[in-house]
Amino acid sequence: MDSSQLLGITTFTYLFSTILYAVIFIFRAKNLGPATTAFTCIAFLIQTAGIALRWQESYQMGIGHAPLTNMYESVVFFAWTIILFYLFLEWKFKVRVIGAFAVPFAFLAMAYASFSSGISQEISPLIPALQSNWLIAHVITCFIGYAAFAVATALAIMYLIKNASASRNVTDDSTLLATLPKLTVIDDLTHKSMVFGFLWLTVGIITGAVWANSAWGTYWSWDPKETWSLITWFIYAITLHARYTRGWGGKRIAWLAIIGFASVIFTYYGVNFILSGLHSYGSQ
């Protein structure tokens, strides 16, 4: 069995995890919680094995490098970091229903990686600009931040759904929303996720600047991806500043979390395919 087969299996395991979390949410089947978490952990381990095997396969081909260098590999790693951060959040705060909103992001990422005809699954040699020890540091830090923002968006969607019900004076006990945490809890988790993501994104931008100086002789060249990374950073910086100084919360923060993640997606995906620049290799 090769890495592509293991990662293909991961796509369907994340789909099944999504269904299980949806069952917990829709039917209030809390008794399924431990089994669902265990299954998601197994799916995560399968994906981890697939990533490790792909890394090994690159060395067997004589072009050994971390599997983080093209669109396929980065999408797979994005899904991996989303599940990692979600499982940490579930373990830390014991709120499994978040999985019904967060795990689908990982499934969609894996589905795109597995079934899209627009990206290649081949293991390719590194171009000279990527042959740097800064590659792993930059990619890992950025994607941990992206994963936290994805989960923050899942939480923001939860908040908006529950808040809409509350504004209509619908009693939670008679709806699906009875399984969701209180609005204050969701708001706090959204904020914590954005803070965590913002810190890692900041480190990611810094490591990227150091890497750029090593590869191209300049820390910042206003490449489209660099520019959009900075725009994304400012969106989250303004959001967190507004919360700390203006006391913003609730719907405002929820919508800003969604807007911020839209910027993340454009920075990560849209720039590669719409705008040309030094990071265009990401579309391979």
pLDDT tens-digit series, residues 202-216: 999 999 999 888 877
Answer yes or no: is 123 within a domain: no
**153 and 82 together in one domain:** no
The answer to whether residue 284 scores a pLDDT higher than 50 is no
At residue 145, the pLDDT reads 98
The stretches of the chain forming alpha helices (DSSP H) are 3-27, 33-60, 71-93, 99-115, 134-167, 183-216, 224-246, 250-265, 271-274
Nearest Cα residue to 208 out of 196, 223, 219: 219
**99 and 143 together in one domain:** no
**226 and 138 together in one domain:** yes
Alpha-carbon distance of 178 to 173, in angstroms, equals 5
Alpha-carbon distance of 150 to 51, in angstroms, equals 21
At residue 52, the pLDDT reads 97
**156 and 271 together in one domain:** yes
**105 and 144 together in one domain:** no
Q: 78 CB contacts (<8 Å, ≥6 apart)?
A: 109, 143, 146, 147, 268
Task: Indicate the number of domains in the chain.
Answer: 2
Per the confidence metrics, is the pTM higher than 0.85?
Answer: yes
**283 and 186 together in one domain:** yes
**224 and 260 together in one domain:** yes
At residue 220, the pLDDT reads 87
Range of the domain at 36: 1-118
The answer to whether residue 279 scores a pLDDT higher than 60 is no
**147 and 10 together in one domain:** no
**29 and 72 together in one domain:** yes
pLDDT tens by residue, 62-73: 999 999 988 999
